Chain A
Amino acid sequence: MAGTLIMGVGERSGKQRVRVGVDVGGTFTDIVLQTESGTLHSSKVLTTYHAPEQGVVYSIEQVSRTSGVELGDVNQVIHGTTLATNALIERRGAKTALVTTAGFRDVIETRTESRFEQYDLNIVLPDPLIARRDRFVISERLNARGEVLIDFDDDAARAVIERIGVAGYESVAVGFLHSYRNGMHERRFRSLLKKELSGVAVSISSEVSPQMREYERFNTVCANAYVQPLMASYLLRLRDQLKGIGVGCPLYLIHSGGGLMSVETAAEFPVRLIESGPAGGAIFAADLAARYGLDRVLSYDMGGTTAKIALIEDYVPRTAKVFEVDRRSRFKKGSGMPISIPVIEMIEIGAGGGSIVQVDSLGQIRVGPHSSGSDPGPAAYARGGDDATVTDANLLLGRLHPDTFGAKDILLNPQLAGEAIAAGVGGPLGLDNAAAAVGIVEVVDENMTNAARVHAVEGGRDLSGFSMIAFGGGAPLHASRLIDKLGLDELIVPSGAGVGSAIGFLRAPFSYEAIRSFYTTTADFDYLGANALLAELTAEAESFVRVGLADDRAHEASSVEPAISVERQVSMRYAGQGWEIPVSLDEGEFDEFAAELLAAKFTKSYLEFFGRAIDQLNIEAVSWAVRVSSVEEPAALVELSRIGNRVAPEQTRQMYDPTSSGSVEAGLFPRSRLKPADLVVGPALIFEPQTTTVLGAQHACVVQSDGSLLIRRVQVPR
């Protein structure tokens, strides 16, 4: 796809640095270049799967040509990628061994001892990342306070190291019980291994993920070790090749928590790159939320395979300390691999343009989770796919059209779409194609709506009062219907929606979140321990951020000391509960009276979450986190305008409208010709190269000064 100029989105006052964001996804490599004036130029090329750095280099050269910016003038390249995720999912990592405490060889295999699907006798649990024969044990043991119960046995360790050498393992994961409290034995093993075997990569759990709960921590260190050789090699190749074409500026990586980190850190902790692409999308939405002053935003990103929903409050995406990658079964909780690292919290469901539609034994329409992907793609793509998909339904309903579908290399074929829907849905249900297509779209919209609601309630939130920001190729087609179903008042479809993640990369601060488990209670508060731990976490996080900033500053010969912010948080719960809620800490150290203050803070947060607190129960503090980030220049506030001058369409087309329960005449508007303050009244379709925005009969849209579309309901749907 050729380079595209994106209106408005990047503009900040004054001269900007030239920055490039690159998102290497499974199908496409998206690139965005921000010029000195703040203008954004974007491009989308196919990912060069076997040597992804080539696609990156090619796309940077391409966007340099279209923008007229010299490669040597680029100040910063920011990169996010699904490569680490894909290596895990496709099991393409290194030959890896796990070394663990004697008695705990099978922690990653016995998982939670439960079935993620209650109603399936033939359930297959995912294979552990590292097979049992590749798991070795060592005699050693710490207790929950980090004290030694069984000494580390050097001779036994050397014997294991010898076996590791003989068997030719490329990478070793080390995970010992309670190492989040005391990493001494893990470090001891690493130093012995380094001494005996050169060229073998080693990851230790007390560094990769110092969080309590062995199943999650061991999995995380295994995942890190497994992808580490591959990712380190890729990152170094990428850096060299960029230098080779004259891009000598620093290269940074986006991490799953939504901040920047150095290539060196990424090469050491590649597990932190997992979900970096979707994290970029959430930062994109958070940055827009800040620009518009929207303090409660639901970020909705829909692509070809999945839809991702994240909540953004006070311009910050919610974060979590653990997530699951590679959910094998219908994105079901528990069917994947838990990874305990700081991550932007989102829910991902199998609802995309390519999601395949089927009819189940109840005669009900089911959408996803399988996707036709980009190859063969929906039936309408005429590339050999014959499964009915969401895109095919949107085509039959008049929301997509061959004349206005952006991708130039794809000619949509309504006849093929119709045949696929007739065969897959219409026939089995005795419906005509129009009714079948209506059903498909209603079901996928309901799936997304329900996922959003449950995600909100799991975070203790009610969605009323939230605004939606929709991006990704599929979201603007469905978003106006979703706000109706969710009862939200307004929706923004920003410029550059098709490359949102890559734009998000440019908005990310340098940041690092250090997390460690440390158990104490308000009844018996170890304030000295807590102070020491917080100081350690702050130093650790700050050093990562300072290194990144120093590097960046050196390149620009700037003498200004950049500002950083430090946020400290503790996760607490009532004794006996299984869920912790985050409590933000004030500045300063704890003293002997701190327990009471902490209890009061917890009670207040608990009330906010659940509307009811409980007296006289002991409160436990479980894990502690410090996030250090560079302070970015705040985005200039864009006043959202809700009134405009109505523009008439030059053309119209028949489109199905769910609230009218029938076909309506929709105005057609090329987005490139809309100007700020234009008012488009639905039913209407606003099309652009990477997506189409649907307005129902009860929606109206005002074009904002930065080119965003603000869509609101003008009358309450029945």
Chain B
Amino acid sequence: MNTSARQTTDLHNQVMWNRLIAVVEEQAATLVRTAFSTSVREAGDLSAGIFDVHGRMIAQAVTGTPGHVNTMAAAVRHFINDIGPERIYEGDVYITNDPWKGTGHLHDITVATPVFYNSAHVGFFASTAHVVDIGGRGYGPEAREVYEEGIRIPILKWAERGKLNRDLVAVISQNVREPDQVVGDIFGLAACNETGRRRLCAMFDEFGLKDLERLAEFVFARTRKATLDALRSVPPGTYHNKMTVDGYDHTLTLSVRVTVTANGMHADFSGTSPLSKFGVNVPLTYAEAYFTYGMLVALAPELPNNFASLEPFTVSAPPGVILNAKHPNPVAVRHVIGHFVTDLCLGAIASALPERIPAEGSGALWNFQASARSADPQNLKPPVELLMFNSGGGGARPHLDGLTATAFPSGVRTMSVEATEQVGPIIIWRKEIRGDSGGVGRQRGGLGQVIEVGPTDGYLFEFSAMFDRVENPARGRQGGQPGAPGAVYLDDGTPFPTKGKETVPAERRLILELPGGGGFGDPSQRDPAATENDLLQGYVSAANRSG
């Protein structure tokens, strides 16, 4: 092919690549519209992607949570292995929620659909969503083994040659608390894959394609080159970092050694604390997702996710550490620790990229998760489940203050106070910025927030606490100071445990002070105008002014 013809082909491929991204965005939008799960619609806790026949991801929708970045990317190859290539038929739909083959806990269901064009198998669509219930003890860290966390669905056919596997539907329905919603969400996953399939076939018609192979090679070649180019901004070598966080049952050390070569980056988590007895353990695939997300967001933020952008990033961990949970370790709330992996790994390469890596942030979310129950046992009222996502402050950036009350690395959105109060017997008395909570520095850490909340209408709260960064605040960088640690107490000042099941009595209020982000750079170098504004707006009180 001569140069001009090759260039024209490249343009053509670029257009088709953009189309594939649009197809998976449409696939994801279909899922969001129909999902029952709060975390799908508020947190974008879902993913959608298209894969070639070898199970290599070609395009993925940009959705809210990085936790699925390469967990789902790896899942399709498990589907191919376990189903067997010779048993893949037109009209099939596959399913699993295996934490180690999917996305790290039983609550995420992954559905894959093979696509056929003119009777030839050309690829797969896959999608993942967090469902409202999966049986077992219910969502929380209390289980001691994954068996207690709910039903585990191995890789199976949800449908074969267009015929629904009714036995499987019955088994799932009988093992979850909200069968209509869970089965509804599984149908939603299958339907969004079907939307993708139809669009892909239309695209094949339009562009006269017979398979995805050449397009996939084009996408992978372009992406591989761009990813490796981006990696060059980190000099080859080995980079270490350690981070101490509160943990659930004991203080945890998270440790990483990042090795950078011309061909990629490898994170090894040796030196990390051992597994917990509780379901806060993290399957390695999930730790890998947050490592990869951190590296991509720092080095190559404009690259779309696919097999080739993820391929250079690998992880390892010795058995028995909390970032390498194995069957049957409990893993239900793996995000509580897993979300710290991004800051941990960013911290490792910070010395190589002093102008790019932010200070540590509050990391894990401070989700408010409670069951409202009758305070008076003589006057029984129906229990109501309550869930609110809340975020502390982000770490200061080398040239920008940290984000106030904003999730990172999670992409969670908070819910409206008014909408939450419509749903159940709860009054949120206060939800506002927590002054003086950002770590001081040339750039100030993001501020946390203060939340004051209590039961109403004769209810009390059975409260499931999982709050981190109370003992171990977010650290600053390059002379920046740590953010304020979190605090939890009742309105009369009684300290309240930050982990485990606790009760908030009727007519009392629980006060949550969310942690702030770390500062960046020498506080004495802060722009006086920025300091002035901090005082004016009440972000910092006069007693705490820097500079």
Question: Which residues of A does B touch, CB under 8 Å?
Answer: 102-107, 109-110, 112-115, 118-125, 131-133, 141, 143-144, 149, 177-178, 180, 212-215, 360-365, 429-432, 435, 438-439, 442-443, 446-447, 449-450, 453-454, 457-458, 460, 485, 487, 519, 574, 576-579, 609-612, 614-617, 717-718
Residue of B nearest to A458 (CB): B29
- Is the Cβ of A457 less than 8 Å from the Cβ of B29? yes
Query: Closest approach, in angstroms, between the C-beta of B6 and any C-beta of chain A?
Result: 9
Query: Chain B residues near A115 (CB, 8 Å)?
Result: 403, 406-408, 411
Task: Given contacts A113-B406, A178-B421, A718-B208, list 7 more A-B pairs with CB under 8 A.
Answer: A106-B405, A115-B406, A361-B303, A446-B19, A453-B22, A454-B22, A576-B36
Q: How far is the CB of B40 from chain A (nearest CB, A)?
A: 8
A460 to B413, CA, bound (A): 23
| Chain A positions within 8 Å of B530 at CB level | none
> Contacts of B33 on A, CB cut-off 8 Å?
457-458, 460, 579, 609-610
CB <8 Å contact, A118 and B66: yes
**Are A143's CB and B427's CB within 8 A?**
yes
Query: B492 at interface (Cβ–Cβ under 8 A)?
Result: no
Which of B17, B18, B19, B191 is in CB contact (< 8 Å) with A611? B191
Q: Can you list 30 contacts pairing A with B, beta carbon distance less than 8 Å? A: A103-B432, A105-B432, A106-B431, A107-B431, A110-B404, A110-B433, A112-B413, A113-B414, A114-B411, A115-B403, A115-B411, A118-B66, A119-B302, A121-B397, A133-B537, A143-B456, A144-B422, A213-B418, A214-B416, A214-B417, A362-B302, A365-B11, A431-B11, A443-B14, A446-B18, A454-B22, A485-B206, A612-B187, A617-B180, A718-B208
* Residues from chain A with Cβ under 8 Å of B11 in the complex: 365, 431, 435, 438-439, 442
Q: B17 to chain A: which residues have CB within 8 Å?
A: 364
Is there an interface contact between A578 and B42, defined as CB atoms closer than 8 Å?
Answer: yes
A214 and B17 CA atoms in complex are apart in Å by 40
Min Cβ gap B129→A in Å is: 13
- Assuming the A-B contacts A113-B407, A143-B456, A214-B418, are A610 and B34 also in contact, with contact meaning beta carbons closer than 8 angstroms in the complex? yes
Question: Chain A contacts of B357 at CB under 8 A?
Answer: 121
Find out whether the CB atom of B413 lies under 8 angstroms from the CB atom of A113: yes
**Could you say which residues of chain B place their CB within 8 Å of the CB of A106?**
405, 431-433, 449
B538 touches A450 (CB 8 A): no
The answer on a CB contact under 8 Å between A362 and B418 is no
- Bound-complex Cα distance A109 to B406 (A): 11
* Mask of B401-440 contacts with A, CB within 8 angstroms, 1/0: 0011111100111101111011000011111110000000
In the complex formed, the residue of A with least CB distance to B357 is A121
* Smallest beta-carbon distance B305→chain A, Å: 9
A110–B302 touching, CB < 8 Å? no
Most buried by B among A118, A363, A429, A447: A118
Pick the residue among A143, A430, A443, A577 that contacts B36 (CB under 8 A): A577
Contact between A121 and B298 (Cβ–Cβ < 8 Å)? yes
- Residues of chain B lying within 8 A (CB to CB) of residue A214: 416-418
CA distance A365 to B452 in the complex (A): 50
In the complex, B297 has a CB within 8 A of chain A? yes
Inter-chain contacts of B297 with A (CB < 8 A): 118-121
Closest to A103 in B: B430
Contact in complex: A113, B416 (CB < 8 Å): no
8 closest Cβ pairs, A-B complex: A103-B430, A450-B22, A578-B41, A132-B537, A113-B414, A119-B301, A112-B413, A144-B421
Q: Chain B contacts of A141 at CB under 8 A? A: 429
Residue numbers in B under 8 Å from A576 (CB-CB): 36-38, 132, 181
Question: Closest approach, in angstroms, between the C-beta of B121 and any C-beta of chain A?
Answer: 24
Contact of A121 among B35, B356, B431, B456 (CB under 8 A): B356
**Contact residues of B between 187 and 205, Cβ < 8 Å to A:** 187, 191, 195, 199, 202
Residue contact A365 to B36, C-beta cutoff 8 Å: no
Q: Is the CB of A362 within 8 A of B226?
A: yes
How many chain B residues sit at the interface, stated as a range, is 35 or more
| Contact in complex: B432, A450 (CB < 8 Å) | no
Contact present for A121 and B301 (CB under 8 Å)? yes
A132 proximity list for chain B (CB < 8 A): 433, 537-539
The residue from A113, A435, A609 contacting B8, defined by CB atoms under 8 A apart: A435
Q: Given A115-B408, A177-B417, A435-B7, check contact A124 B400 (CB 8 Å).
A: yes
Q: Judge whether B482 is part of the interface by a CB distance below 8 angstroms.
A: no
- The answer to whether B274 has its CB under 8 Å from any CB of chain A is no
Which B residues lie within 8 Å of A429 (CB)? 7
Contact A109 to B422, CB < 8 A, known contacts A454-B25, A576-B36: no
Are B421 and A143 in contact, with the CB atoms below 8 A?
A: yes
Task: Assess whether B119 is interfacial by the CB under 8 Å rule.
Answer: no
Contact (Cβ within 8 A) B41 A118: no
User: Which residues of A sit under 8 angstroms from B539, Cβ to Cβ?
Assistant: 132
Distance of A588 from chain B, by nearest CB (Å): 27
**CB < 8 Å neighbour of B15 from A103, A363, A443:** A443
Cβ distance A121 to chain B, nearest Cβ, rounded Å: 6
Residue B30 CB within 8 A of the other chain: yes
In the complex formed, the residue of B with least CB distance to A105 is: B432
Residue pair A119, B18 in contact (C-beta under 8 Å): no
Q: How far is the CA of A125 from the CA of B391 in the complex (A)?
A: 15
- Provide the residues of chain B in CB contact with A360, threshold 8 Å: 302
* A579: contacting residue among B19, B38, B41, B132, CB under 8 A: B41
* Chain A contacts for B202, CB-based, 8 A: 487
Which residue of chain B lies nearest to A578 when distances are taken between CB atoms in the complex? B41
CB of B232 within 8 A of chain A? no
Q: How far is the CB of B50 from chain A (nearest CB, A)?
A: 14
Q: Can you list, as one digit per residue, whether each of B465-489 has a CB less than 8 Å from chain A (1) or not (0)? A: 0000000000000000000000000
Answer yes or no: B62 CB below 8 A from chain A CBs: yes
Whether, in the assembled complex, B399 has its beta carbon less than 8 Å from a beta carbon of chain A, the answer is: yes
A615 CB contacts on chain B under 8 angstroms: 180
**Cβ < 8 Å to A, chain B residues 127-143:** 132
Q: In the complex the two chains form, what is the Cα distance from A438 to B9 in whole Å?
A: 12
Query: Contacts of B37 on A, CB cut-off 8 Å?
Result: 576
Q: A454 to B184, Cβ gap below 8 A?
A: no
Complexed CA–CA distance, A144 and B417 (Å)? 10
Report A-chain residues with C-beta under 8 Å of the C-beta of B223: 362
Say yes or no for B378: interface residue by CB 8 A criterion.
Answer: no
B536 within 8 Å of A (CB atoms)? yes
The interface residues of chain B lying within 8 Å CB-to-CB of A114 are 64, 391, 406-407, 411-414
A212–B62 Cα distance when bound, in Å, is 29
Q: Which of A105, A149, A443, A487 contacts B427 (CB 8 A)?
A: A149
A718 contact set on B, CB distance < 8 A = 208
- Pairwise interchain contact A133-B536, C-beta atoms closer than 8 A: yes
* Shortest Cβ distance from residue B537 to the other chain A in the assembled complex, whole angstroms: 4
Residue among A123, A610, A611 making CB contact with B403, cutoff 8 Å: A123
Q: Could you say which of B18, B230, B389 contacts A450, with CB atoms under 8 Å apart?
A: B18
B432 near A104: Cβ-Cβ < 8 Å: yes
CB neighbours of B407 from chain A (8 A): 113-115
Docked-complex contact B14 and A125, CB < 8 angstroms: no
Taking the closest CB of chain A, its distance from the CB of B215, in whole angstroms, is 14
**CB within 8 A of A614: which of B64, B184, B226, B413?**
B184
B494 contacts the other chain (Cβ, under 8 Å)?
Answer: no
With both chains docked as a complex, state the minimum distance between the C-beta of B174 and any C-beta of chain A, in angstroms: 16
Taking a contact as CB atoms under 8 Å apart, the answer to whether B18 and A122 are in contact is: no
> Least Cβ distance of B414 to chain A in Å?
4
Q: Judging by beta carbons under 8 Å apart, are B418 and A430 in contact?
A: no
Q: Is A215 a contact of B41 with CB atoms below 8 Å? A: no
CB distance A519 to B400 under 8 Å?
no
Alpha-carbon separation in the docked complex, A110 to B394 (Å): 12
CB of B195, distance to nearest CB on chain A (Å): 7
Closest A residue to B33 using CB positions: A579
Q: Tell me if B161 counts as interface (CB < 8 A to partner A).
A: no
Confirm or deny: B4 has a beta carbon within 8 angstroms of a beta carbon on chain A.
yes
A578 touches which of B38, B302, B408, B536 (Cβ 8 Å): B38
Q: Which residue of A lies closest to B391 (CB)?
A: A113
Q: Is B464 an interface residue (CB 8 A)?
A: no
- Tell me the complex Cα distance, A362–B405, Å: 34
Q: How far, in Å, is A427 (CB) from chain B's closest CB?
A: 13
- Whether B411 pairs with A113 at a CB distance below 8 angstroms is no
Q: CB within 8 A of B191: which of A431, A578, A612?
A: A612
**8 Å CB contact of A442 from B15, B404, B419, B433:** B15
